[in-house]
Amino acid sequence: MAGHWRARWHRGSAVLLAMVLAVSSYAATETEWTVMVYLDGDNNLESYGVDNFLQMAKVDGLPGGASAKVRVLVQFDRSDGFDTSYDNWTGCKRFEITTGLTPRAANAWQSLGPTDMGVPQTLTDFVNWGIVNAPAARYALVLWDHGSGWGPRAAGIAPVVKAVCYDDTSGHALTTQDLRTALQGVATNIDLIGFDACLMDMIEVAYEVKAEASVFVASEQLEDAAGWPYDTILQALVANPDMSAAGLGTAIVNLYGASPTGSTGTMAAIDLTQVQGLADAISAFADTVLAESNQEWDVISASRDGAHYYDDTAFRDLQSFMSGVATFATNSLIKDKAQAVVDVFNSGLLIANYTSASDKGNGLSIYFPPNHGTVDTDYATTNILFAEKSWDEFLDKWVKVTVPPPPNDNFANRIALSGETASATAATSRATKEDGEPDHAPATTTMAVSRTAG
């Protein structure tokens, strides 16, 4: 959400102990799914956090305890000043959601006091606590809050970048690297990781957590502040607790799309086991472009322009960009490498996808600044794993090259009119400004041209 939109073996002894406890505890439980919601309401989304908590508690069939087929755990951090309901408590508390529960202080399983939700250890501790206290056959983790994918947080909010789960009390947030660090400390792989937050459905984020979970659910676009429809999602899971991780991901995508909050947005479920193959295909495309003499920069530019962007003009829909290159490139090597990326999307990577007609989302976005713009200096292996691929080298070249104009923009190749009248009208009103562009006119301007060939 942005603004008011919205089993692995470890050496660590503490993690190993948690794994042993979880496995031994699961033998005595009937729980199929434990859903853990990391609800960071320590910011201007606090009231929406209360609403989503109450949505979860509307679900019939959540008795709580070891006999429940589905258990829902929430770590809820509240703020001071945005919402005064339900005792107006502050700090952080843990709850097990049962039907009809309210987020009053007395209903908490555990009170943690002031807690920084923007550091990885807090997330690790919550997930390991959930695994030990509500062991299950499968686990889902939802990170709830503002999100910015690989880009800046919305204007007017503390300037933390490239992150999710913003704790306004501490000023911290979970970076892309922090997500991996936190999940590497968890006792077992997570079956589904979801982001009820804006802009997190990026290849850079999915690649970071590919080894820590099986299914990835997020939005390319901004999310409405009301977030996911937790009542319908959890009710579907209670009705079918044997649902696979892919099945739950599909349900989240479809029910989000059918909800009022999904009417103008996107949501996708990604198979994380195929993300390495996607990243390799992107890297092979980048390497091929950089190695060829005919580098097709004009086609690349037009395909980037044709790919939809999300809030930040540097976040471009990956599949539509590669489809454009595969369709229009004349260099057969570049064409084939672009098509290979598209083929990964069509071969099972994309479990489910919802997009409004205007948003044109195809499952994942990628960081792609404009020609003659700048590449973020943080786009490096010290901060994100995806930078180990060749896309960053491609970007470094892309922002420096001079892209030739389309033929009809070159007066040496103009088309002569003969005996016909040509006319055009245009209007612009505060169009989005990209890096390197001059300021746009502050008000609407119009232009009309008419020319009769003689």
Mean pLDDT of 214-241: 95
| Sign of torsion over alpha carbons 252, 136, 119, 363 | negative
pLDDT at site 421: 52
b/e per residue 90-104 (b: at least 16 CB within 10 A)? bbbbbbbbbeebebe
Q: Per mean pLDDT, which range of 9-23, 55-69, 235-249 is the poorest?
A: 9-23
pLDDT at site 1: 42
- In sequence order, what are the beta bridge partners of 218? 268
Amino acid at 356: S
Mean pLDDT of 393-400: 97
**Rounded CA separation 278/284 (Å):** 10
- Asked if 174 and 164 touch (Cβ cutoff 8 Å), the reply is yes
pLDDT at site 22: 52
pLDDT at site 150: 52
pTM: 0.84
Q: How confident is the model over 33-58, as pLDDT tens digits? A: 999 999 998 888 899 999 999 999 99
Q: Per mean pLDDT, which range of 57-66, 78-87, 176-185, 268-277 is the poorest?
A: 78-87
pLDDT band, very low/low/confident/very high, at 312 (cuts 50, 70, 90): confident
3-state helix, strand, coil in the chain (%, to 5): 35, 20, 40
The helix (run of H) or strand (run of E) holding residue 268 is strand 266-271
How far out from the chain centre does Cα 177 lie?
A: 14
Q: What are the domain boundaries of the chain?
A: 1-419
C-beta contacts of 57-61 below 8 A and 24+ residues apart: 57/97, 57/98, 57/99, 57/100, 57/101, 57/102, 58/99, 58/231, 59/97, 59/99, 59/230, 59/231, 59/234, 59/235, 59/238, 60/99, 60/235, 60/238, 61/99, 61/235, 61/238, 61/239
Q: How confident is the model over 379-389, as pLDDT tens digits? A: 999 889 999 99
Residue 313 has pLDDT above 80, yes or no: yes
pLDDT at site 166: 82
Mean pLDDT of 209-234: 95
Q: How confident is the model over 8-37, as pLDDT tens digits? A: 333 344 455 555 555 545 555 689 999 999
pLDDT at site 407: 62
pLDDT at site 19: 53
Q: Per mean pLDDT, which range of 86-90, 99-103, 149-153, 264-268 is the poorest?
A: 149-153
The helix (run of H) or strand (run of E) holding residue 36 is strand 33-41
Rg (CA), the chain: 24
* Residue with more model confidence, 392 or 429: 392
Q: 413: how many CB neighbours lie within 10 A of its CB? A: 10
In sequence order, which residues have a C-beta less than 8 Å from that of residue 172 and are 6 or more positions away? Answer: 116, 117, 118, 119, 160, 166
Residue 311 has pLDDT above 70, yes or no: yes
Q: How confident is the model over 328-370, as pLDDT tens digits? A: 999 999 999 999 999 999 999 999 999 998 899 999 999 999 9
Q: How confident is the model over 413-448, as pLDDT tens digits? A: 444 545 555 455 544 444 454 454 444 444 444 445
Q: Per mean pLDDT, which range of 116-130, 244-258, 343-357, 440-454 is the poorest?
A: 440-454
Mean pLDDT of 64-73: 96
**Rounded CA separation 120/122 (Å):** 5
* Residue labelled with tokens 């201007």: 44
